[in-house]
Amino acid sequence: MRPDLTGRGFGQEFVTFLVDYIIKTYHPENISLAVATFNKRAITLYERIGFRLTERFDQQTNGSVYPFIRMVLDVKNLSY
């Protein structure tokens, strides 16, 4: 999502659109993503949609190392 559109209530619609597209196009059993732990709003949104934390790890990015989490959505139990 464009940075100027964040924090305006479009996140859930945007992410569910992407999840639906991935499901219809690729027919996965699950969808995983990685998100920096400081991004609390994104984590809350992903949890609301049904993603669950599965792993914690450090990732080198933007010239430093940051803690990340991996989240997985079980497509067959999708209920948003």
Q: What pLDDT digit, counting tens, does each position of 15-67 carry? A: 999 999 999 999 999 999 999 999 999 999 999 999 999 999 999 998 999 99
| pTM for the model | 0.88
pLDDT value of position 23? 97
68 neighbors 33 (Cβ within 8 angstroms): no
Q: 4 pLDDT band (50/70/90 cuts)?
A: confident
Instruction: Output DSSP code: residue 63.
Output: T
Residue 9 pLDDT exceeds 80: yes
Domain boundaries defined on the chain: 29-80
Beta strand segments in 1-80, E? 30-36, 52-61, 64-74
